[in-house]
Amino acid sequence: MKNLKEGLRWLDQAFADMKTAKDCLKDGNYYATAFFSQQAAEKALKGFLYAQAYRALVTHSVVELLEESLKVNEQFKQFLDSNFYPSGAPYKYYTEEVAQKCLNYAELILNEVKKYLRK
């Protein structure tokens, strides 16, 4: 059974994480911007999938969640083709430019999910 309420709950948390990512970017905490951007994208995608009746999503991989979301909606292909989610790098890797890219991609994903869950 589809669960829109659960999907919206995850999406709301995703937007809260996105705000934190933006605040971190303003403060120059670029690694934290990347982290919260990843969290926002992950939670938005999980919200989308929960709203489509998925259960027990146990991955933290945005790429895996995008691949699963693609099975339901082909619009998510655009994010797989251009995804940018560095992982396992030390905090010094995340420059302002890299952090901004992470934020931008996460924001695109959140807005795409929002279109489908808040129709």
Domains of the chain (ranges; CATH) run 4-117 (1.20.120.330)
- The rounded distance, in Å, linking the Cα atoms of 118 and 14 is 14
pTM score above 0.85: no
Q: Round the CA-based radius of gyration of the chain to a whole number and report it.
A: 14
Q: Using one digit for the tens of pLDDT, what is the confidence trace for 86-104?
A: 555 556 678 899 899 999 9
Greatest distance between any 2 Cα atoms in the chain: 44
Cα angle at 73 between 12 and 20, to 5 degrees?
A: 25
pLDDT band with cut points at 50, 70 and 90 for residue 18? very high
pLDDT at 23 over 50: yes
Quick one: DSSP state of residue 88?
A: S
- The rounded distance, in Å, linking the Cα atoms of 99 and 93 is 10
Instruction: Find the DSSP H helices in the chain.
Output: 4-26, 30-51, 62-70, 77-81, 96-117
Q: Using one digit for the tens of pLDDT, what is the confidence trace for 61-73?
A: 777 888 888 788 7
pLDDT-above-70 percentage for the chain:
86
Distance of alpha carbon 69 from the chain centroid? 12
